[in-house]
Amino acid sequence: MNEVKQNAVSVCKVSFRALLDEYRLSLEAMNRSPKTISWYMEIIERYFGFLDSNSLLKPVNQLGTQELRAYILHLQKANRWANNPKIRISTGKLSPYSVQGHVRALKAFWGWLEREGYIGSNPLAKLPLPKVPEKPVYVLSSEQIKKLFSQINRLTPIGARYYAILLLLLDTGMRISELVSIRIQALDLQHDCVQVLGKGQKLRSVPMSKLTRKEINRYINHSRAQLYPIDSPYLFAKFDGTPISVNSVQQFLRRLAIEAGLDGIKCSPHVFRHSFATHSIANGANVFVLKEIMGHSSLNTTLKYTHLQPGDLQIQHAKFSPVATLDIIKTSQRLRSQ
C-alpha cells in the first residue's frame, strides 16, 4: 500500500489535488467542523499556489523546511485579504497570529502525510512555529458586568432574549457557536443544565445557576413566541426560525458596551468566556471541573482562560496557605513558655 502511495506522490501537480481530497475526507472522518476543514483546505491550497507561482512546486516527498521558510517570509510581507475577491482594499499586513496559524495547518498536513505513508519522515516536525506577541486578555470586572446588564430592558421581547443570552454566556462560559445552536429539547430546566454540542461534535452537559434558569424560563414563556415561530427548534432564533447569528450577538454587545459607558473596553462573547473562567477561579472553582464545563480537551487550555488579579491571588492564598492555617507563631510561643 505504501508503494502505491509513494508512486502517487511522484506524480506532478495533479497528485496534490488528490492528496487534498483525501485529507478532506480524513478530517471529515475525524468529525472536524466544516469551518475547520475549509480553513485547512484554503491554507494548504494557498501554499501550493505560492510554490507553483515561484517555481518551487515539487512532489511532497521532496518539499521541506526550505520551501516553508520561504513561504513564511512571503506571508510576513503579505497584505490581509489580498486574495479575497469580495474585499477590494486590503487592511494592512497579516498579523503574526495569522502567519503562525498557516504554519500550524501546514505542519498538521505534513504530519498526516507521514502517518498515511505518503512520506517516509516528516521534515517539518521539528520546525518551530513563528513567535507571536502575547495577546492582551480582556476580563470584565463585576462593576462592568453590572453596568452592561443594567442597560438591557428585559421587559421587552428582544431585551428578554439578549438578557438570557448574556446570562448564559457569563454563567456557563460556553462558546458563542455552542449557544446559538442550542435547541429547546437540549434544555433540562428541572436539573438546571443544558446540553451543548462543542468542538469535535462532542456533546456535554453544562450546569447553570437558578437565576439563569429562571430567566430562560421567563423568556420562553413570555417573549419567545413574539419574536419568531413557536415551532422553531432553536432556543434563540431569527424570525424565520433559523438560529440567531453569531454576528448579531457580537453587534449587540458592542452597542451595549457603548450605552453602558464602557468605551474602549473590549466586549465580546469570547470576553464573557474569559470572564466566566476568571471569576469562577477567583470564587474558588476547581480548575478540573472548569475544564469539563468549558469543554476543553487540555487542562493547559483552561489555565489560559484564567487571569486572576493580585487581589484575587491574595484572597485565595489566605485560604490555602500552610502558614496561614497552621498558626505557627502561637504554637511556637506556647512551646517556649513551657
Q: Is residue 121 part of a domain?
A: no
Q: Indicate if 147 and 109 belong to the same structural domain.
A: no
**Catalytic option among 104, 183, 199, 307:** 199
274 labelled catalytic: no
175 labelled catalytic: yes
Q: Indicate if 259 and 319 belong to the same structural domain.
A: no
Of the candidates 115, 150, 180, which is a domain's last residue? 115
Q: Helices marked H in the chain — which ranges?
A: 2-10, 14-29, 34-53, 65-77, 96-115, 142-150, 157-172, 176-180, 210-222, 224-227, 246-259, 269-282, 287-294, 299-304, 310-320, 322-326, 328-337
> pLDDT tens across 139-175, in order?
899 999 999 999 999 999 999 999 999 999 999 999 9
CA angle 163, 166, 168 (to 5 degrees): 105
Domain count, the chain: 3
Q: Is residue 281 part of a domain?
A: yes
Q: Are 234 and 224 in contact (CB under 8 A)?
A: no
Q: Indicate if 244 and 261 belong to the same structural domain.
A: yes
CA angle 293, 297, 281 (to 5 degrees): 45
Q: Is residue 187 part of a domain?
A: yes
Residue 88: its pLDDT value, please?
47
Residue 92: its pLDDT value, please?
73
Residue 17: its pLDDT value, please?
84
177's grid cell: 457557536
Q: Is residue 6 part of a domain?
A: yes
User: How far apart are the C-alpha atoms of 303 and 277, rounded to whole Å?
Assistant: 9
User: CA Rg, the chain, in Å?
Assistant: 26
Residue 74: its pLDDT value, please?
94
Q: Indicate if 296 and 318 belong to the same structural domain.
A: no
Q: Indicate if 281 and 187 belong to the same structural domain.
A: yes
The amino acid at residue 274 is H
Structural domain containing residue 60 = 2-115
Q: Indicate if 35 and 80 belong to the same structural domain.
A: yes
32's grid cell: 472536524
List the CATH number of the domain containing 56. 1.10.150.130
SS3 232: coil
SS3 183: strand
Residue 316: its pLDDT value, please?
60
296 labelled catalytic: yes
Q: Indicate if 24 and 91 belong to the same structural domain.
A: yes
**Catalytic option among 32, 147, 273, 274:** 273
307 labelled catalytic: no
Residue 228: its pLDDT value, please?
83
Q: Indicate if 265 and 320 belong to the same structural domain.
A: no
- pTM exceeding the 0.75 threshold for the entire prediction: no
Q: Are 139 and 271 in contact (CB under 8 A)?
A: yes
Q: Indicate if 318 and 299 belong to the same structural domain.
A: no
CA-wise closest residue to 206 among 316, 94, 291: 291
Q: Indicate if 296 and 317 belong to the same structural domain.
A: no
User: How far apart are the C-alpha atoms of 219 and 217, rounded to whole Å?
Assistant: 5
Spans of the chain, pLDDT less than 50: 1-14, 85-90
Q: Are 244 and 237 in contact (CB under 8 A)?
A: yes
User: How far apart are the C-alpha atoms of 170 and 208, rounded to whole Å?
Assistant: 10
Q: Indicate if 337 and 228 belong to the same structural domain.
A: no
Q: Is residue 128 part of a domain?
A: no
Q: Indicate if 225 and 239 belong to the same structural domain.
A: yes
The amino acid at residue 299 is L
